[in-house]
Amino acid sequence: METHKIYIAPSILSADLLQLKTQVEMLTENGADFIHVDVMDGHFVPNLTFGRNVVKTLKRITSLPLDVHLMISNPDLYIEDYARAGADILTVHEEACTHLHRTLQSIHQQGIKAGVSLNPATPIATIENVLDNIDLLLIMTVNPGFGGQKFIPQGLKKIAEARRMIDTSGRDILLEVDGGVDSSTVESIVQHGANVLVSGNAIFGPPDIVAAMKQLKAKAEKA
Ligand code: DX5
Ligand code: ZN
């Protein structure tokens, strides 16, 4: 994966579950780069979503990397499960990890990529000491838990700060943004330095999901 190329990661949180297979196949065949899977436990965030069986099932229908976003407490307990289920990138929340360095090492021990995510209120400086241990940094631009929320504009400053930190480190780290990514925010998000764009409602909301994804990606690539 190239760290400056634009990647689009449709979030199946907003998919039509009755058409999940068709929708994921359509996006896979038409230029999606990752499939973003939001795992919520009703404890770390006030919502419940998918578990490892969904990851395992998605693996059978798409060749794209599965970008699994764990919004759960005690993620250490589940790393092996999600790696075995087929996660290619496993992202944990800094706020959910007492021993983040160890958690990231455990993810790498499974032979997959490790990501760390920061809530809107969490400063970038909290992950300064684990830059050597991550392949992806996820900046949340909404409070995690639900799709279709409004982009929090203070996130832009954090994206820029994260970009500077990554470039200074010289490490190959993807900079991902999640929450409120749509046609009105995507340009600015990319201009501030992000290169992986998660999008739920802006892709699955319109009737033509492929057209919506292509438009969003084209706008990001031109920004
Ligand atoms: C929110 C999730 C997101 C969500 C984004 O907690 O992590 O991945 O699907 O949805 P949109 O793009 O609709 O803001
Ligand atoms: Zn997410």
For ion ligand 2, residues whose CB falls within 5 Å: 38, 69, 178
* pLDDT at position 4: 75
178 in active site: yes
What is the per-residue burial (b if ≥16 Cβ within 10 Å, else e) of 14-40? bbeeeeeeebbebbbeeebbbbbbbbb
| Cβ of 195 less than 6 Å from ligand 1 | no
38 in active site: yes
* pLDDT at position 19: 98
* pLDDT at position 127: 98
The per-residue pLDDT of the chain, averaged, comes to 97
Which residue in the list 33, 38, 41, 135 is annotated as catalytic?
38
Distance from the Cα of residue 141 to its chain's centroid: 11
Given a cut of 50, the residues of the chain with pLDDT beneath it are: none
| Cβ of 10 less than 6 Å from ligand 1 | no
